[in-house]
Structure 1
Amino acid sequence: MTRSAKLRVGRPFRPGILLLGLLWLAVTTLPFLFVVATSLKTQEETYSESVWALPSHLDFGNYLEVLHGSFFTYLRNSFFVVGVSVTLIVLFSAMAAYVFARVPFRLSKPLFGLVVAGMIVPLHAALVPIYLLIRNIGLYDTNFALIGPYIALSLPVSIFILTEFMRQIPRELEEAAQLDGCGTLKIFWRIYFPLSTPGLATVAIYNGIALWNEFIFAYVLTSTPMHRTLPLAMWDFQGQYTSNIPAMLSVVTLTSLPLILVYAFGQERIIKGMMAGSLKG
C-alpha cells in the first residue's frame, strides 16, 4: 500500500477521534462548571430558579462566608494529614517493594500474595475495628487518627505498583554496586530508589488524590472542626432541615483548586510518572 493510500485510509478515523476527545472534555469539564456556576448563586436563587439556570449575577458572598469560617483550619489539617501520609506511604512501599523484587527469601511469594490480597478487602469493612482501635489508643479526634489508617489501607496497591516497577530495573546495576562494596541498604538508596522516581511519583499522585478527597474515615475518626479535613467542611453549611447548597459547592470548588493547580504546573511530570511503568520493557 502506497503512502497516499495509507493517508486516505487513516483520514476517516480522525473526525471520530476528535469527536470522542470533545465528548470526553465535556464529560469531565461540565460537572465542574456546573459546581462553579451554582456556587455563584444566592441561596434563594438556587431554590427558586432551574437547577441548570446560570446565575443572574456573580455573587461571591458564599466564598467570603466559607473563607471567614473554619476553612483554613480544614485546609491546614488536610495538608498535614495527606502530606505525612503520602510521604510515609512512598517510603514504606518502596522499601517493601525492593525486598519483594530483589531480595530472595523463602516466604517472598506467599507474603507478596498476602499483600496483594489486601487490595480486594473492602475499605469500609475495616471501619469499625479501626474506630475501636483508634479510641482505645487515645488518638480519636486528632490529626494522627487518620494517618495510620490512611497508610495501612494504601500500602497494598502501592507495594504492588512499585514491586512490578523495580523488577524491571536491570540487575546488572545491583551487581556492579555489590562489586564496589555496597550493601543492601546502600543499593536501595543509591540505585533503586532514585531509578524508581517515576513509579514513586505515580504512587504519590494516586494516593494524594485519593486521600485528599477521603470522607468516611475522616468523618468517623474526628468529631471537631479543629481536627477535621477539607471534605468535611461542607458539614458547616448543612442543618437539620435545610442546606446552603451554594456555600457547600463553594467549599467543593475551593477544595478542588489545590489539585487543579498541582496538575496545571506539573502536568508533564504527572503524565510521565503515570506512563513510566508501561513504557519500560
Structure 2
Amino acid sequence: MRKQVSKKSRLISVIVGILAVIWLIITFVPFMFMLFAALKEQFELMMGGVFDLPKKFYLGNFIEVFQGNIYNYFKNSIIVLVVSLVILLALSACAAYPLSRFKFKLNKPIYGIIVACMSVPIHVTLLPIFMMAIKTGMYDKIWALIGPYVAFNLPISVFILVTFMSNIPKELEEAAEIDGCNKYRIFYNVILPLSKPGLVTLAIYNGVAIWNEFSFTLVLTQSTKNRTLPLALWEYQGQYTMNVPMIMAVLTISMLPMLVAFAIGQDKLIKGMMAGAVKG
C-alpha cells in the first residue's frame, strides 16, 4: 500500500511539475517578447523575427517615454490606486465583520446580494456611470474612477474577508468581552489585527486589477492630465501606424511596480490565501 501511495504521489508531483513548467512558458514568452521589442528600434522590429534578440540594447524607447507624460500618468495611477484601496479595504472590513460574526435575520439575504453582485458585468454599467459622471460634474476627473473601482471590487473583497473572519476563533472575541471590550473595540483591537493577512491579500489582488483597469479610465477621462497609466499607450499610436517598440517600453514600465509589489508581498499573499482557506 505504501509503495502504491508513494507512486501515486510521485506521479501527481510529476504532473504538477509539468503543468507548472507549461504555465511558466505561457506566461514567460509574452514577457520576453515585450522586453525584446522594447529594446529594439522600430525598423529592426519590423524587419527581424518576433523573438529575435536585439542586435544592441537600444534604450532610446525608454528615454523618450520618460521625456513624455509618463510621470503624470504614474501620478494619477498612484493617487487612484491608494485612495481606492484605502476606501475599499475599510468598507470591506466594516461589512465583513457583522456578516461573519453576528447572527441576525437579514444576514444571509444581504450576503447573498453581495455575492450576486460579483456576477454583474462591468461593461453593462459603463453608459449609466458615464451619464452619472456628466450630471455630477465628475467627468474627466481622476476622482470619477474611485467610485466604480471601489464598487466593483467590493463584493469579492467582502466575500473573501467574510470567509477569513469566520475562521477566527470565537474564544478570542469572548475573552475580549469578558475584559470589558464592546463590539467596536473588539473589531479594532482583535478582529482587524488578526485579519491583516487577508487584508494584504486583498490589497495585492485588487491593487493589480485597479492598476491595470482600462475601460472606466477610457470612458470617464478625456484629457491627458487626468488619464492613468493604461491609457499612456494612446500617445504612441497614430491614425494609421503605431510605434510598437515604444508601446512595449510603456508596458514594461507600467508592469514593473506591480511586479516589484508582488515579489515583495508574495509570501504574505500566499499566507493570507492559506489562512483564509483553512478552518481555525
TM bin, normalised by shorter chain, reads: over 0.9
Amino acid at match of 1:137: T
**Once the 2 structures are TM-superposed, how far is the Cα of residue 34 of structure 1 from its aligned partner?**
0.8
Given residue 266 of structure 2, which amino acid in structure 1 is its aligned partner?
A: Q
Deviation at 1:82, TM superposition (A): 0.7
The one-letter code of the counterpart of 1:258 is P
When structure 1 is superposed on structure 2, of 13-22 and 76-85 the one drifting more is: 13-22
Secondary structure, counterpart of 1:226 in structure 2: helix
Amino acid at match of 1:80: I
5+ residue gaps, structure 2:
none
Residue 266 of structure 1, CA deviation: 2.4
- How is 1:164-179 mapped onto 2 (pairs within 5 angstroms)? 164-179=163-178
Deviation at 1:5, TM superposition (A): 7.3
1:19 deviation in Å? 3.0
Aligned pair in 2 of structure 1 residues 15, 80: CA closer, same or farther (>3 Å)? same
Matching residue's letter, 1:148: G
Q: How many angstroms does 1:12 deviate by?
A: 5.3
Partner of 1:193: 192
Within a 5 Å distance, the mapping from 1:1-281 to structure 2 comes to 1=1, 10-11=9-10, 14-281=13-280
Aligned-partner residue type, residue 254 of structure 1: I
- Cα distance in 2, alignment partners of residues 12 and 148 from structure 1: 49
Unpaired runs of 5+ in structure 1? none
| Contact preservation (8 Å) 2:73, 2:229 | yes
Structure 1 residues 68-77 or 162-171, which shifts more?
162-171
Are the structure 2 counterparts of residues 118 and 17 from structure 1 closer, same or farther at C-alpha, using a change threshold of 3 Å? closer
The offset of 1:168, in angstroms, is 1.4
Query: Which stretch has the larger CA shift, 6-15 or 58-67?
Result: 6-15
In 2, Cα distance between equivalents of 1:240 and 1:51: 24
How far residue 110 of structure 1 moved from its aligned partner, in angstroms, is 1.2
Inter-partner Cα distance in structure 1 for 2:7 and 2:173? 50
Residue 100 of structure 1, CA deviation: 0.9
Deviations 1:19-54 (A, max 9, x none): 333222212211101100011111112222232322
> Normalising by the residue count of structure 2, what TM-score does the alignment of the two structures yield?
0.94
Q: Distance in 2 between matches of 1:10 and 1:206?
A: 31
* C-alpha RMSD over aligned residues: 1.8
Q: Following the alignment from structure 2 to structure 1, what is the Cα–Cα distance between the partners of residues 14 and 172?
A: 47
Q: How many angstroms apart in 2 are the aligned matches of 1:50 and 1:183?
A: 67
Change (3 A) 1:34 1:126: same
Contact kept, 8 Å, 2:33 with 2:50, in 1: the verdict is: no
Identity between Structure 1 and Structure 2 (%)? 46
C-alpha deviation, 1:225, in angstroms: 1.5
Question: 2:42, 2:243 within 8 Å by CA — same for their partners in 1?
Answer: yes
What is the distance in 1 between the residues matched to 2:232 and 2:112?
39
- CA gap 1:138/1:21 in 2 versus in 1, 3 angstroms: same
Return the alpha-carbon distance in structure 2 between the equivalents of residues 14 and 112 of structure 1. 38
Paired residues, what number? 280
Q: 1:9, CA displacement in angstroms? A: 6.2
SS at match of 1:138: coil
Letter matched to residue 44 of structure 2: E
Q: Which amino acid aligns with 2:241?
A: T
Structure-1 separation of matches of 2:259 and 2:17: 24
